[in-house]
Amino acid sequence: MTAPDQGRTTILWLLLLLFVLRVAGQALVAFLCVTWLPPMERWHSGLMPYSVLLASQILIIALLTWICVDFTRGRGFFVRPRRLLAVHWLWLGWIYLGAMLVRFFIQGPTIPVFFHWVLAAFVILVGLWHRRRLRA
């Protein structure tokens, strides 16, 4: 099994950091009412209650951290080449990115759209790595 390259691993960690900063920024606005960040309406579309959104964001952070740790160590579930991640996960990433591009053209630039791009990029990078390993 070939270990992930350092560049890809670094990019995954940076994408995770961006998402963590987004969640932290939104929580600062929601719970501490900080005024130096954009208001809550700019962070949250209101499609689901914020408590549910925050819980799902924490789960996403946990999953992305697990993936980053596996890529850093060069071993683990998310580093073993898997058809599920090379095909279905990758397609999910491209569809997700496409949907967020449509949302961008409908709503314009928003904080949630940008960070959905961050998550889509993460999913796509992991999927491309798996696809490349399965073809090798």
Asked whether residue 52 carries a pLDDT value surpassing 90, the answer given is: yes
pLDDT in tens, 65-106: 999 999 999 999 999 999 989 999 999 999 999 999 999 999
Grade residue 38 by pLDDT with cuts at 50, 70 and 90: very high
Give the span between the Cα atoms of 77 and 75, in whole angstroms: 7
Residue-range domain boundaries for the chain: 6-135
Three-class SS state of 9: helix
Q: 129 vs 3, which has greater pLDDT?
A: 129
Beta-carbon contacts of residue 81 (< 8 Å; ≥ 6 apart):
1, 130, 133, 134
- Percentages helix, strand, coil for the chain (3-state, rounded to 5) are 75, 0, 25
